[in-house]
Structure 1
Amino acid sequence: MFVPPTVSQPESEERFVSFEEFLTTSSVNLNAPRSVLLKGTSYEFPTDPITFGRSFSFPILIDGFHRAARFWKYGPPDGKLLAYLPSGLVVED
């Protein structure tokens, strides 16, 4: 999945970046998704799904950046996160 430039500026240099690349950058804002910490003593799956849009055939994360970042950093390796996907969009595992 990709992150739009408006979310990952200035590090993305106005380009779409993969979510993985997005999380490797830092932010001066401690409330940014990249700075997310574990809530409590263990990971808990969120009740709300993340939301995807698309740019051509590429999945673009448009809502749920904190939930996705927390899952990426602390979720189980074989876990699955609930997501809304546009019709016809298939995300590879």
Structure 2
Amino acid sequence: MTDAAPASAPQGIAFTLDGVDELTFARILRDVLHDAAFARPLQVQAQEPRPGHPARLTLVFAPQERARAVGAMQRLKTLLLRYGVQVDSVQVPAES
């Protein structure tokens, strides 16, 4: 038995943003939601910062949208730099 997802299952690039306060996170999210790089068919999932839990942004995409998702990942890194945000970790799924 295998845990591998089907080839068409959505994948995600997850950013952990440790130390980001709620106001900065809201500003980042606003910019992401108004930027064409993150438009459908990509999806952005957001988890606001909470005590003991860092903020997270995940770019969700279908495998056939991988190139677009990687471009959006680069754009997100640029947006984060604008706010002086240090990205603690980025989890990128392996290519199928």
**Range of TM-score over shorter length:** under 0.3
The alignment's TM-score, normalised by the length of structure 2, stands at: 0.26
* Greater fraction helix: 2
The alignment's TM-score, normalised by the length of structure 1, stands at: 0.27
Greater RCO (Cα-Cα under 8 Å, separation 6 or more): 2
